[in-house]
Chain A
Amino acid sequence: MPPRVVPAHPVAFDGSVPWTLHPQVSLRPEAFGALAYHFGTRRLSFLKSRTLLAVVESLADQPTGHEACRVAGVPSDELGRYEQALNTLAESGMICPREAS
């Protein structure tokens, strides 16, 4: 079952709520990070670090976006940069808030 997605439209990233990869997005790991392709919008995104990939992959299993960052090993002094990257992904609809389980 794909996770239930809350909003129909992309929103800004908020690390205090639960997130998920959009059900129509596929990830392909690459040496530099990953490619993400959204079958709905037909957009391609580049995740330029393996850690960011780990964050995105763990979103659906963690209670909040921040927790996903922590679990994936994002150093606290780099959290800001990762939030920025996650915001880019949120604005293009690659990731989206989900209902709390």
Chain B
Amino acid sequence: MTTTDAAPAVVGRLVDRFEQGLDAPICLTWELTYACNLACVHCLSSSGRRDPGELSTDECKAVIDEFERMQIFYVNIGGGEPTIRGDFWELVEYATDHHVGVKFSTNGSRITDEVAARLAASDYVDVQISLDGATADVNDAIRGAGSYGTAVRAMDRLARAGFEGFKLSVVVTRHNVGQLDDFKALSDRYGAQLRLTRLRPSGRGADVWDELHPTADQQHQLYRWLLAHGEDVLTGDSFFHLAGYGESLPGLNLCGAGRVVCLVDPVGDVYACPFAIHEEFLAGNVRSPGGFTEVWRHSDLFTELRQPQSAGACGSCGHYDACRGGCMAAKFFTGLPLDGPDPECVLGHGEHALAGRQGTVPPKPALDHSKPARPVPVAMGPAHRAAVTTPSRPPDRPCDESPLAASGLGA
């Protein structure tokens, strides 16, 4: 989502307001199920199998009722592959009937012509197709054999149905960072909008991060590309650590975790952000008294995140105001202190910190719903099976929007 500022000024920097938290999130990610027909190697939520404790249809509707009361404009629904849930379309309809817009992430396996037509007819539903390579070889190495074909077929169907502006969502890796122009061309061809997000060492992503995260040179290449394409490309604000290069990228350039964004997982647990499924970042559960509202407004964790944060080891760095120390989850899951540099700090401080870990074992996610036959990076069923079985696994979807194009007039 893009943002504009209409402001006769006056309120000081909006970013400061956001760091203190709002009464309701600007944007919220809701993973509906841990079930997935794919087994992407970098899955943030280590999805694969459904959790027996997942919220029931009625519980989901009660959560939507709360979102409506809090005036949350829309939610980013993911998983797992959310469309696997038998009540998925029922919940989408319930949400939009209750003034909560929906954007959902999918691997495309259940986007039939009929579904595409229905989606194209709704102003309140947006779709995000996950694809991590502009070519089948690059994509399928991450998302599984046949997954490229599945995604492209889904895009064909959406475009044919007249759905304009759906999102093509890409997690930037060492292997696809050279394909940014190709991704842009691909999304342009479909009348879609490209969305690039950062590879996080979260979930199964922790296992592959060392090999897949962009090199320092590639990060700079990505930064230049993002500056050149500006507002045309969505980033979910995920690259604010690149602001250390000098120029701010469009968007909020702020970690919104627990302040303006959060994650609700399939069993109702509320985490600070989609990349932080670990008890360290667990604020509460929507099933507890007071529900989501109580967790959002009064949980200890979120209250703490809304206090001024220490710059720690980054305090003496002249770029701290730009990058804010980077991504909390990226630090945590690589075993770095939260008040130190991001592992991908563009000044190289992260590399030094990583080298200095000396055998520290980074924390593992508390939950793992991977299928027993552990994600063999490249082995999925043949492409034609995908249409039936469907997998999917939205890599990362932070807030898809960039909560804001920072301040403008008044700031």
A interface residues (Cβ-Cβ under 8 A, vs B): 24, 26, 28, 30-33, 35-37, 39-40, 42-49, 51-52, 78, 81-82, 84-86, 88-89, 92, 94
Instruction: Report Cα–Cα, A46/B4, bound state, in Å.
Output: 7
State whether A88 and B123 are in contact (beta carbons under 8 Å apart), knowing that A26-B99, A48-B11 are contacts in the complex: no
Selecting from B21-29, B323-331, B344-352, B362-370, the interface stretch reads B21-29
Instruction: Report Cα–Cα, A65/B279, bound state, in Å.
Output: 51
The reply to whether the CB of B223 lies closer than 8 angstroms to some CB of chain A is no
B interface residues (Cβ-Cβ under 8 A, vs A): 1-11, 14, 17, 22-24, 26, 71, 73-74, 99, 101, 103, 123-124, 126, 165, 401, 403-404, 407, 409-410
Contact B8 A39 (CB under 8 A): no
State whether A40 and B409 are in contact (beta carbons under 8 Å apart), knowing that A26-B71, A47-B6 are contacts in the complex: no
Contact A30 B23 (CB under 8 A): yes
Chain B residues with CB under 8 A of A84? 8, 409
Contact A48 B10 (CB under 8 A): yes
Instruction: Report Cα–Cα, A42/B123, bound state, in Å.
Output: 9
Expressed in whole angstroms, the minimum distance between the Cβ of B297 and any Cβ of chain A is 14
Expressed in whole angstroms, the minimum distance between the Cβ of B166 and any Cβ of chain A is 11
Instruction: Report Cα–Cα, A30/B6, bound state, in Å.
Output: 14
Most A Cβ at <10 Å: residue of B8, B17, B99, B404: B8
Among residues of B, the one whose C-beta sits closest to the C-beta of A74 is B8
From A26, A36, A37, A81, B8 is in contact (CB under 8 Å) with A81
Chain A residues with CB under 8 A of B123? 24, 39-40
From B10, B126, B404, A49 is in contact (CB under 8 Å) with B10
Contact A78 B14 (CB under 8 A): no
Expressed in whole angstroms, the minimum distance between the Cβ of B66 and any Cβ of chain A is 15
In the assembled complex, 18 residue pairs joining A and B whose CB atoms fall closer than 8 Å, in A order, are A28-B73, A30-B17, A35-B26, A40-B123, A44-B1, A44-B404, A45-B4, A45-B5, A46-B3, A46-B14, A48-B7, A48-B8, A52-B6, A82-B8, A84-B8, A85-B409, A86-B6, A89-B4
Interface SS of chain A = mixed
Given A26-B99, A52-B8, 20 more pairs with CB closer than 8 A: A24-B123, A28-B24, A28-B71, A32-B11, A32-B14, A35-B26, A37-B73, A42-B2, A42-B74, A43-B3, A44-B1, A45-B3, A45-B4, A47-B6, A48-B7, A48-B407, A81-B9, A82-B8, A84-B409, A85-B6
Instruction: Report Cα–Cα, A37/B73, bound state, in Å.
Output: 7
Chain B residues with CB under 8 A of A52? 6-8
| A-B CB contacts (within 8 Å), total count | 104
Expressed in whole angstroms, the minimum distance between the Cβ of B399 and any Cβ of chain A is 10
Chain B residues with CB under 8 A of A92? 4, 6
Contact A35 B73 (CB under 8 A): yes
Contact B24 A48 (CB under 8 A): no
Instruction: Report Cα–Cα, A88/B3, bound state, in Å.
Output: 11
Among residues of B, the one whose C-beta sits closest to the C-beta of A30 is B22
State whether A43 and B6 are in contact (beta carbons under 8 Å apart), knowing that A30-B23, A35-B26, A48-B410 are contacts in the complex: no
Chain A residues with CB under 8 A of B17? 30-32
Instruction: Report Cα–Cα, A89/B408, bound state, in Å.
Output: 13
From B6, B74, B99, B101, A45 is in contact (CB under 8 Å) with B6
Contact B23 A48 (CB under 8 A): no
Instruction: Report Cα–Cα, A47/B7, bound state, in Å.
Output: 5
The 9 closest A-B pairs by CB, nearest first: A48-B7, A37-B73, A81-B8, A88-B6, A28-B71, A32-B11, A85-B6, A44-B3, A89-B6
Chain A residues with CB under 8 A of B24? 28
State whether A43 and B10 are in contact (beta carbons under 8 Å apart), knowing that A26-B71, A26-B73, A48-B410 are contacts in the complex: no
Expressed in whole angstroms, the minimum distance between the Cβ of A61 and any Cβ of chain B is 20
Instruction: Report Cα–Cα, A46/B6, bound state, in Å.
Output: 6
Chain A residues with CB under 8 A of B73? 26, 28, 35, 37, 39, 44
Chain A residues with CB under 8 A of B4? 43-46, 88-89, 92
Contact A42 B126 (CB under 8 A): yes
Instruction: Report Cα–Cα, A28/B68, bound state, in Å.
Output: 11
Most A Cβ at <10 Å: residue of B11, B101, B403: B11
Instruction: Report Cα–Cα, A49/B8, bound state, in Å.
Output: 7
